[in-house]
């Protein structure tokens, strides 16, 4: 099964994932699935994500229905400046929060 299909199905309903970077403890972060990538906001009013540009990380996703472990997926974090449409989607995804962030990462998954 292609990883993006699994992630697409799970992350349409999930708003948070666990991210593990080498040498760091896993951290639960808010995330938004868009354009076959996972977008993570960090700093400001958002939790500090354990990410750096180019870091190879593991993303742990739980099932949106059973909340049990679904998949661990390898991804590469890319520090990016989201376009206006993506920035608005990230803000909308946070529902009642008024997010402000210092950095946005696009996590691209390995096949």
Query: pLDDT tens-digit profile of 75-110?
Result: 999 999 998 998 888 888 876 667 788 999 999 987
Nearest to 26 by CA among 54, 62, 2, 64: 62
Please tell me the distance from the alpha carbon of residue 51 to that of residue 69, in angstroms, as a whole number: 22
pLDDT for residue 96: 64
Please tell me the distance from the alpha carbon of residue 92 to that of residue 59, in angstroms, as a whole number: 22
SS (HEC) of the chain:
CCHHHHHHHHHCCCCEEEEECCCCCCEEEEEEEECCEEEEEECCCCCCCCCCCCCEEEEEEECCCCCCEEEEEEEEEEEECCCHHHHHHHHHHCCCCCCCCCEEEEEEECC
Tell me: pLDDT of 52 over 90: yes
Tell me: pLDDT of 1 over 50: no
| Domain positions in the chain | 3-109
Mean pLDDT, residues 30-59 taken together:
89
What pTM did the predictor assign? 0.85
Name the CATH superfamily, with its identifier, for domain 3-109: Electron Transport, Fmn-binding Protein; Chain A (2.30.110.10)
Query: Structure tokens of 88?
Result: 């608005």
């Amino acid at each position: 099964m292609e990883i993006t299909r699994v992630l697409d199905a799970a992350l349409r309903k999930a708003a948070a994932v666990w991210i593990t970077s080498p040498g760091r403890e896993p951290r639960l972060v808010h995330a938004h699935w868009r354009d076959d990538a996972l977008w993570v906001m960090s700093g400001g009013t958002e939790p500090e994500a354990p990410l750096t540009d180019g870091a190879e990380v593991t993303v742990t996703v739980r099932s949106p229905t059973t909340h049990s472990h679904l998949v661990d997926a390898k991804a590469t974090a890319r520090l990016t400046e989201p376009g206006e449409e993506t920035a608005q989607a990230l803000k909308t995804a946070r529902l009642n929060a008024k997010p402000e962030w210092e950095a946005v990462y696009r996590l691209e998954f390995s096949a």
